[in-house]
Amino acid sequence: MRDRLGCCETKKERSDMSHTRYAFVKAQWHADIVDRALDGFLESIPANSVDVFDVPGAFELPLMARDLANTGQYHAIICAAFVVDGGIYRHDFVAGAVVDGLMRAGLDSGVPVLSVSLTPHHYQETAHHKAIYKAHFVEKGREAAQAARSIVATRAQVSAKAA
């Protein structure tokens, strides 16, 4: 059972973040690039504290984030996607819808939902561009780990003061 902030149930758990669980959801469109975000995330978050889920593409992230948040098992959910201009649809529309959906999933559930969703204006399927974005996703994964730890710790502090 969680408190109103979705934080840990006991004071011991509030002070001991070793019980913290994260969900990491990855869109499989451009998986060779997107998966690097998980690599960066796992550099500072123990793998045994992370459950990893794959979805077909970015558009499926908000629904999965909401469903995972509603399980009550996770202190934060991190979602990663790479939305590129494929010339068929407006990638900025897709990216906006995804980020809005992720925010709504977090607000509605009370569980932080963090986005590692990149939408480059100029991406080409070249070795050079792939290398740039793979490295960028590793860095974004590191930043997501830092942000997840920070928001979980801050929410635990707020819950402790409210108790």
Active site residue 14: no
* Type of residue numbered 116: V
d(Cα 17, Cα 20) in Å, to the nearest integer? Answer: 5
How far apart, in Å, are the Cα atoms of 107 and each of 34, 39, 73, 126? 25, 27, 16, 38
Residue in 4, 14, 90, 149 annotated catalytic: 90
The CA angle 113-37-72, to the nearest 5 degrees, is 30
The CA angle 81-51-144, to the nearest 5 degrees, is 50
What does the CA dihedral 56, 58, 63, 64 come to, rounded to 10 degrees?
60
> Any alpha helices (H) in the chain, and if so which ranges?
11-15, 31-41, 61-70, 91-109, 127-162
**Residues with catalytic roles:** 90
